[in-house]
Structure 1
Amino acid sequence: MSDLRTSNLKKPVDVAEYLFARLHQIGIRSIHGLPGDYNLISLDYLPKAGLKWVGNCNELNAAYAADGYARVKGIGAIMTTFGVGELSAINGLAGAYSEMVPIVHIVGCPSTISQRNGMLLHHTLGNGDFNVFANMSANISCAVAKLNDPVEIANQIDHALRECYLRSKPVYIMLPTDMVARKVEGARLDEQIDLREPPNDEGKENYVVDVVLKYLHAAKNPVVLVDACAIRHRVLDEVHDFIEKTQLPVFVTPMGKGAINESHPSFGGVYSGNASQPDVKKMVEESDLVLSVGALKSDFNTAGFSYRMSQLNTIDLHSTHCVVRYSEYPGVKMRGVLRKVTDKVDVKQLKVSPPPKAPAIDFKGIDGKSPILQSWFWPHVNTFLKENDIVVTETGTANFGIWDTRFPPGVTALNQTLWGSIGWAVGACQGAALGAKDAEQDRRTILFEGDGSLQLTAQEISTMIRHKLNIILFVICNDGYTIERFIHGMEAEYNDIVEWKYKDLPTVFGGTDDTARKYVVKTKDELEALLTDKDFNERKGMRFVELYMPKEDAPRSLQLTAEASAKNNAKAE
């Protein structure tokens, strides 16, 4: 039967060849992960498909890296082995699901014959259940494909990849060892997967557009608020077209940082409830119409749920529906609505107010020998960043401090505000830098990483060096878990860490003075000298900086959010 089926194929190709060809077609050029005996045969197919194997230090780091790669390149992929490998990756993939990042997770698994016979194999629980791990991943995947039947495999792959891209969430593909070389119809590869978003029902869309325009034209002080889902569901072009035409003041949330050109005259800053700058808070919360694009109102994104906006004055545009004041329109997606609102808006009817100006920072008269404080550092980063940099901030002081940094045009910001897994940023930085390299973009990737977080995923420094990635890594050395200290336990032992010899890490992980230059910065003068150094700014490869800050110092926004978090944690029924 197998031979008969294969003889009817127009262009028979192996399953692994088909899968990897599809990954290449949708934009993936590098596969993160680790080898294991259940995926080794399939890995041999990567070069033919034009894909590079990254080779991470562990599966958790690989998942973080695939996350960062996807945020820069559009979609990412990771390959693990059955059981032990995939479970090591599951935290990173759960974070991608939470934060809406499209990752293709391919798991090499035992043969279909071994599964049917319930064989007692390594990497299993010893109970004959070969679906238990797929069932675990089902809750953090928008599609699960078990490639057990050659007749269905091509359809399963195409469906999973389309779901991954359009829904911007991970998918899980289970590839048995005996299916790797089975034949499927290669003629399908002549036509690429349709990744276009299905259009809205025209009648429903037009109705929502008319309602939005009615309130927009009537508003006395409308503003725009852009959040993470606008980035993840790829509507930033539509948002910028709208801003360019209307010139309405526009703000971003912490998770939306980098979504808007911050040099645009309409940009007003970061809004996060009580942790916002006073002028930003006043303008957003006193607006009689907030056009919210892709909102994700998590605790850290809203500074402890401290938004002060009435739903009566809000229009929420989402990837699956729209809400205008108290009326919800299921199935009407934001892309089509934004396009038509931009086309039809009458700018003569709009009341446009100027956005608040960025707080003036006076760096003069500051003792250059004094320690580097968070309140001074993050506004000062403005002077260091360049157009099109990629800026990665770790959960903790960096994620909150970056609110006070104004980005040049084209900067891509990566943070993990909702999932908040410390150590994520090291892997994500590696993936982001590789994504830029694969896209043939000459961009710096700059990581601001806490010393405590670095200790979870430091091994990926070796992967950065191995792939000659263009990375500047600032390790904020402040003696432990600062964000936890401000939530609870400022002097508690559980928030302390062992002080590593951080600048020796690049050497330990294979770097040389040419491939990984090292620096130590403890005062403002030393930092200023480093940030203005031509070689530091322009050289390629890794630049690894030990950056010392006081233990009990944190950005204002972190302190306010931590206080709100502590109160929420202490609430009783």
Structure 2
Amino acid sequence: MVDIATRELRQPVDIAEYLFRRLHEVGVRSVHGVPGDYNLAALDYLPKCGLHWVGNCNELNAGYAADGYARVNGIAALVTTFGVGELSAINAIAGAYSEYVPIVHIVGQPHTSSQKDGTLLHHTLGNGDYNVFANMNKGISANLAHLNNTYDAATLIDNAIRECWIHSRPVYLALPTDMITKKIEGERLETPIDLSLPPNDPEKEDYVVDVVLKYLHAATSPVILVDACALRHHVIDEVHDLIEAAGLPTFVAPMGKGAVNETHKCYGGVYAGTGSNPGVREQVESSDLILNIGAIKSDFNTAGFSFRTSQLNTIDFHSTFVRVRYSEYPDINMKGVLRKVTQQMGSLKANPVQHISNALPEHEKDSSNQTITHAWLWPMVGQWLKENDIVITETGTANFGIWDTRFPAGVTAISQVLWGSIGYSVGACQGAALAAKEQGNRRTILWVGDGSLQLTVQEISTMIRNNLNPIIFVICNEGYTIERFIHGWDEAYNDIQTWDVKGLPVAFGGKDKYKGYKVTTRDELTKLFATEEFSSAPCLQLVEVHMPRDDAPAALKITAEAASARNK
């Protein structure tokens, strides 16, 4: 029997189908998560909406994977179940919120009548409170919606997806079991969700542009510094146009690695305060004007707050304001401002920038030492990388080491510098590799420590299950090196159980679907890099890279020392 409300609908569609078709519309092709009895019926709708179910090993890993997928694809979707599932994912969602990563988190909830009656169901706290977990997510979500009624479900879905995209942060959608099959108006699916930014007030925008141009033309040694929020808030095209038109020396902060074309003549390297190459540090800190685009000035992103730049010489561009020296202009998005500055700036005073290459340091060039050190490793990695690679680095030696590479054009860099959740990179690698496969199989390369790997190693199983072919380098250096440099050099809590890393995929049923390698010398790694079959990434490949326990990139040592001092 069809109820009256359904008969009045012109194009009836189930709520779950409406939601998943909207996700497909904005570019999602794969959905991460873990099945649970409160979301199972919703998962039945994925195939008919053109979506692939990934099926992760646990919700935390699924959240990390959705994060990695979103950084490559632009947006991601995650499905968990009420209570136990969503709380397992909450750390990953908090990381995505912290680092401006758009994830639509769909939580399967109990029947609305059970919630209303406070029924004592499994996965609850046993106190009848069905809002407690949603409230936990409120502070780490750009939008939170309960799809409890048919009359506003479509509006709530559309608004949540728009907020996710505009703010580049997670949103939370609660979908009760009885609402999955409820009918709503499907006609509105014919009109795409408007994902465009709200326009700036024209008069205010023009005023800010005039102020920026005034200081830009007066400067004698201006530079551009690009950071993560330029990526997250969709202004990369504007940034590239600005660099091309201005011809100014251009640098990136660590979290902004990969945001600009590092083969461009204007690219000058990574600026991270005292963690920078000396030439980079001198040019940025001596500049009389820094165009700072999308900055996130966290401790690890500034090598322990070691930036030596003055706000008097800085113009900050953000998604919600522009700050010119000490004058702040709120409610103004950088996108339109950057575009007009580029169009109107004319010629500028541009100093030359030092050439950045992947040449080995002088003390490593003719060394007969076969020990793989960070000073030797990262320039070699830079020489091996290809255009359009995706490079994921765990927070630790790998994340700091990658600063010393110069990327080919089109490389996407993924790391969790601000949130820094150990093991993040393995899950993120699975999501990134899946997005890469959907985009035409770009190479996906992960660098992770042996300690970090042990937290999320199960996602290698998910990679095998989804026929993904990342190249995973595991730095085997006997435990948590970054922690050792902060505190407890020889303490047991920084040690780990040694694993047969290259043999792990066998335990996950991937005996014939991967290749494993163990390298202990420079010659062995150089030979591996030169092997065409290995570099072509024909299947999942796992490489043990054995390095000394007490070796680390210089930037990590500086940052760890600062962290240790603050902790005291």
With the length of structure 1 as denominator, give the TM-score of the two structures: 0.97
Please give the alpha-carbon distance, in whole angstroms, between the structure 2 residues aligned to 1:33 and 1:220.
Answer: 53
Per the alignment, residue 517 of structure 1 pairs with: 515
1:264 is the counterpart of 2:264: yes
Per the alignment, residue 445 of structure 1 pairs with: 444
Per the alignment, residue 57 of structure 1 pairs with: 57
Answer whether contact 1:443 1:470 (CA < 8 A) is retained: no
Matches within 5 A, 1:401-416: 401-416=401-416
Answer whether contact 1:387 1:411 (CA < 8 A) is retained: yes
Amino acid at match of 2:566: N
Q: Tell me how far 1:8 sits from its aligned partner.
A: 1.5
Amino acid at match of 1:153: A
Per the alignment, residue 466 of structure 2 pairs with: 467
Helix, strand or coil: the match of 1:255?
Answer: helix
Please give the alpha-carbon distance, in whole angstroms, between the structure 2 residues aligned to 1:517 and 1:427.
Answer: 20
Across the two proteins, how many residue pairs are aligned to each other? 565
Per the alignment, residue 247 of structure 1 pairs with: 247
Identity of aligned residues (%): 64
Q: Tell me how far 1:7 sits from its aligned partner.
A: 1.7
Helix, strand or coil: the match of 1:416?
Answer: coil
Please give the alpha-carbon distance, in whole angstroms, between the structure 1 residues aligned to 2:104 and 2:356.
Answer: 40
Please give the alpha-carbon distance, in whole angstroms, between the structure 1 residues aligned to 2:304 and 2:499.
Answer: 33
Q: Tell me how far 1:539 sits from its aligned partner.
A: 3.8
Per the alignment, residue 358 of structure 1 pairs with: 356
1:553 is the counterpart of 2:554: no
Per the alignment, residue 344 of structure 1 pairs with: 344
Task: Give a deviation string over 1:522-542, Cα, whole Å, max 9, x none.
Answer: 000000000000110114221
Please give the alpha-carbon distance, in whole angstroms, between the structure 1 residues aligned to 2:2 and 2:264.
Answer: 61
Residue ranges of structure 2 left out of the alignment (5+ in a row)? none
Amino acid at match of 1:56: N
Answer whether contact 2:216 2:289 (CA < 8 A) is retained: yes
Per the alignment, residue 563 of structure 1 pairs with: 561
Per the alignment, residue 387 of structure 1 pairs with: 387
Please give the alpha-carbon distance, in whole angstroms, between the structure 2 residues aligned to 1:267 and 1:354.
Answer: 10
Q: Tell me how far 1:2 sits from its aligned partner.
A: 8.8
Please give the alpha-carbon distance, in whole angstroms, between the structure 2 residues aligned to 1:14 and 1:394.
Answer: 41
Amino acid at match of 2:562: A
Per the alignment, residue 160 of structure 2 pairs with: 160
Q: Tell me how far 1:436 sits from its aligned partner.
A: 1.4
Per the alignment, residue 286 of structure 2 pairs with: 286
Task: Give a deviation string over 1:442-492, Cα, whole Å, max 9, x none.
Answer: 310000000000000000001111111120000000000000000111111
Please give the alpha-carbon distance, in whole angstroms, between the structure 1 residues aligned to 2:350 and 2:374.
Answer: 34
Helix, strand or coil: the match of 1:432?
Answer: helix
Per the alignment, residue 220 of structure 1 pairs with: 220
Helix, strand or coil: the match of 2:169?
Answer: coil
Answer whether contact 2:267 2:356 (CA < 8 A) is retained: no
Matches within 5 A, 1:424-435: 424-435=424-435
1:542 is the counterpart of 2:540: yes
Per the alignment, residue 305 of structure 2 pairs with: 305
Q: Tell me how far 1:569 sits from its aligned partner.
A: 1.3
Per the alignment, residue 481 of structure 1 pairs with: 480
Helix, strand or coil: the match of 1:207?
Answer: helix
Per the alignment, residue 33 of structure 1 pairs with: 33
Please give the alpha-carbon distance, in whole angstroms, between the structure 2 residues aligned to 1:188 and 1:520.
Answer: 55
Please give the alpha-carbon distance, in whole angstroms, between the structure 2 residues aligned to 1:180 and 1:112.
Answer: 11
Answer whether contact 1:312 1:326 (CA < 8 A) is retained: yes
Helix, strand or coil: the match of 1:32?
Answer: strand
Matches within 5 A, 1:1-40: 3-40=3-40
Q: 1:539–1:294: structure 2 CA closer, same or farther, 3 Å change rule?
A: closer
Please give the alpha-carbon distance, in whole angstroms, between the structure 2 residues aligned to 1:384 and 1:492.
Answer: 36
Helix, strand or coil: the match of 2:6?
Answer: helix
Amino acid at match of 1:135: N
Please give the alpha-carbon distance, in whole angstroms, between the structure 2 residues aligned to 1:288 and 1:397.
Answer: 33
Q: Tell me how far 1:210 sits from its aligned partner.
A: 0.5
Answer whether contact 1:465 1:541 (CA < 8 A) is retained: no
Please give the alpha-carbon distance, in whole angstroms, between the structure 1 residues aligned to 2:32 and 2:319.
Answer: 28
Please give the alpha-carbon distance, in whole angstroms, between the structure 2 residues aligned to 1:569 and 1:140.
Answer: 26
Amino acid at match of 2:456: T
Please give the alpha-carbon distance, in whole angstroms, between the structure 1 residues aligned to 2:368 and 2:426.
Answer: 32
Which range is displaced more, 50-59 or 488-497? Answer: 488-497
Matches within 5 A, 1:31-180: 31-180=31-180
Q: Tell me how far 1:234 sits from its aligned partner.
A: 1.0
Task: Give a deviation string over 1:306-360, Cα, whole Å, max 9, x none.
Answer: 111111100000000000011100011100000000000111xx11111123374
Please give the alpha-carbon distance, in whole angstroms, between the structure 2 residues aligned to 1:456 and 1:569.
Answer: 24
Task: Give a deviation string over 1:25-80, Cα, whole Å, max 9, x none.
Answer: 01000000000000000000000000000000000000000000000000001100
Task: Give a deviation string over 1:472-524, Cα, whole Å, max 9, x none.
Answer: 000000000000000111111110001011111011111134x2111000000
Amino acid at match of 1:41: A
Please give the alpha-carbon distance, in whole angstroms, between the structure 1 residues aligned to 2:481 and 2:365.
Answer: 28
Which range is displaced more, 522-531 or 357-366? Answer: 357-366
Answer whether contact 1:388 1:412 (CA < 8 A) is retained: yes
Please give the alpha-carbon distance, in whole angstroms, between the structure 1 residues aligned to 2:182 and 2:290.
Answer: 55
Answer whether contact 1:217 1:346 (CA < 8 A) is retained: no
Answer whether contact 2:474 2:545 (CA < 8 A) is retained: yes
Per the alignment, residue 532 of structure 1 pairs with: 530
Task: Give a deviation string over 1:114-153, Cα, whole Å, max 9, x none.
Answer: 1111100000000000000000001110100100011010
Amino acid at match of 2:393: T
Per the alignment, residue 456 of structure 1 pairs with: 455
Please give the alpha-carbon distance, in whole angstroms, between the structure 2 residues aligned to 1:364 and 1:165.
Answer: 47
With the length of structure 2 as denominator, give the TM-score of the two structures: 0.98
- Aligned CA-pair RMSD: 1.1
Answer whether contact 1:269 1:280 (CA < 8 A) is retained: yes
Per the alignment, residue 503 of structure 2 pairs with: 504
Q: Tell me how far 1:19 sits from its aligned partner.
A: 0.4
Please give the alpha-carbon distance, in whole angstroms, between the structure 1 residues aligned to 2:15 and 2:246.
Answer: 50
1:367 is the counterpart of 2:372: no
Task: Give a deviation string over 1:177-236, Cα, whole Å, max 9, x none.
Answer: 000000000001000100011111000000000110011011000000000100100101
Helix, strand or coil: the match of 2:301?
Answer: coil
Matches within 5 A, 1:307-322: 307-322=307-322
Amino acid at match of 1:564: A
